[in-house]
Amino acid sequence: MKVLSIESSCDETGAAVVEKKGNTIKVLSNIIATSSEMHAKTGGIIPENAAREQVKSIIPVIVESLVEAENKNSKNFTDNFILASKILKGIDAIAVTYGPGLIGSLLIGVETAKTLSFTSKKPIIPVNHLLAHLYANFIASTDNKNPINFPFIGLIVSGGHTDLLYFKSHNDFKWLGGTRDDAAGEAIDKIGRMLDLPYPAGPEMEIRANRVKDINMKFQSPLINSNDFDFSFSGLKTEAMRYIKENKIDNDLTNKICYATQNAIFDVLIKKTLKAAEIYDCKSILLGGGVSANKTLLERFQSEIKNLKIKTEIFTPEKKYATDNAAMIGAYALINGEKKEWREVGSNPELYFS
Ligand code: KG4
Ligand code: ZN
């Protein structure tokens, strides 16, 4: 089965063609247009601007994903457009993110998918963006084996969400906890903004944190000792803000603040995720979302997992599938999606886990 998948929940417009053969999920194309440079100027996303950019990008991105999937990109839009409508005939379904996200952005992807579904008579597969972040781990890299085993713990760490889930099977899962205020990525971006780092701050914060050799600075990890699976990062933001106000911030100190911020966030993420894996006796741990692109986070998980009483394996998506993209939407649709008629599908900005 082969799907065209569309992602437009925030400031990225993505389209991909993804195929499932046996148990292998293969990405044939994965195109992304981002308006993040525009948002960098305002230090964050203005929803109205993000939606306007989505409108401009959605058709060119879909056309490119279809022609790229067949290695037939002529670089001429009219030629590609004609070819894309032919290629669409060989697609089995159209998968689309229907939530959560910014309503203006979501509508562009969902209504485009519905129009394509209506005109091409292909079914739609609506996909939860958050679950798709975890299912990015099922995309095959080199071999055909899928080493992910149930039960697994899923940790979603993105710009908008921090959630911990326990999966017995694809359809039987339980939300264990999540952030009570800011998401992990949101705290990183907000502290990054105080330090004048480019938006989004995660990648630059990682580079700067890696430059720190000796560290004598520590921020608190909120809720690290609480007896639940919740997170809270707004206190960390306040602590960092106070420190930045009270000290003369040079390049060296900026790097140290990056290191301390990352560490405070990672300490609590790792502690609670591993505790959940132990309690629920999980065979795998799946990370997903933009913050899971961070190599230090993975390395720390890999090292600390060895101290557990159980044997479990950690998975993180390839970097290009960790941040927002349409390939992960296709992967979820192919593994656990439900085909619907276009009339039954609508955007749901508040969608959570149900
Ligand atoms: O999943 P994502 O692309 O979008 C949402 O669904 O929110 O996540 C974006 C978040 C941003 O907060 C960004 O700063 C963070 O992921 N991020 C990182 C890294 N790359 C992106 N955080 C830490 N380290 C990174 N390398
Ligand atoms: Zn996301």
50 ligand 1 Cβ < 6 A: no
The CA distance from 135 to 70, in Å, is 24
The CA distance from 220 to 208, in Å, is 19
- pLDDT of 144 over the 60 cut: no
Q: What is the arithmetic mean of pLDDT over 135-148?
A: 79
Question: Quick one: pLDDT at residue 267?
Answer: 97
189 ligand 1 Cβ < 6 A: yes
Q: What are phi and psi of 160, to 5 degrees?
A: -115, -15
Q: Does residue 136 contact residue 328 with C-beta atoms inside 8 Å?
A: yes
Question: Quick one: pLDDT at residue 37?
Answer: 72
Which of 291, 295, 321 to mutate to test ligand 1, by most ligand atoms within 8 A of the CB atom? 291
Angle (deg, nearest 10), helices 47-69 and 77-88: 70
- H helices of 2-46, in order, are 36-42
Q: Does residue 298 contact residue 287 with C-beta atoms inside 8 Å?
A: yes
Mean pLDDT lowest for which of 41-55, 189-203, 308-322?
41-55
Q: How many other β-carbons are positioned within 10 Å of the β-carbon of residue 6? A: 28
288 ligand 1 Cβ < 6 A: no
97 ligand 1 Cβ < 6 A: no
More confident: 140 or 46: 46
- pLDDT of 48 over the 90 cut: no
- pTM, two decimals, is 0.95
Q: Residue holding tokens 């044939």?
A: 28
Percent helix, strand and coil across the chain, each to the nearest 5: 45, 20, 35
Amino acid identity of residue 48, one-letter, is E
Question: Quick one: pLDDT at residue 146?
Answer: 64
Atom nearest to 184 CA in ligand 1: 12
